[in-house]
Amino acid sequence: VQMTQSPSYLAASPGESVSISCKASKSISNNLAWYQEKPGKANKLLIHSGSTLQSGTPSRFSGSGSGTDFTLTIRSLESEDFAVYYCQQYNEYPPTFGGGTKLELK
């Protein structure tokens, strides 16, 4: 299953809201996860099952979608949110990742 993320780069300011899209090449039900990657830190699972926040994920993060189209939304950006975000499907093997979205400070 091919995962296509957009945009690849996104510039925003603290306090703004942003959305990242992830599209699967075939239906993956809601078996989709979102991860955050930051330099020097272990990747962090933010959301699984398309919209379920992993324990410890701030409520300003939300996920939506099912089937082939998914969205990660971050409301009221904080400084610690500037990072790279990946989607990943685990509906079937091999598990596959989107190409990533780098969220940069404007």
Contact footprint for other proteins (CB under 8 A): 31, 33, 35, 40-45, 48, 54, 86, 88, 90-100
Per-residue burial over 41-58, b = 16 or more CB atoms within 10 Å of its CB, e = otherwise: eeeeebbbebbebeeebe
- Indicate the residue among 13 and 42 with the shorter CB distance to other proteins: 42
Q: Is the Cβ of residue 68 or residue 88 nearer to other proteins in the bound state?
A: 88
For 81, the 3-state DSSP assignment is: helix
β pairing state of 101-105 and 9-12: parallel
Min separation Cβ 56 and other proteins, Å: 11
Q: Which is nearer to other proteins, 19 or 30 (CB)?
A: 30
Return the H-helix or E-strand segment holding 51: none
Minimum Å gap between C-beta 37 and other proteins is: 8
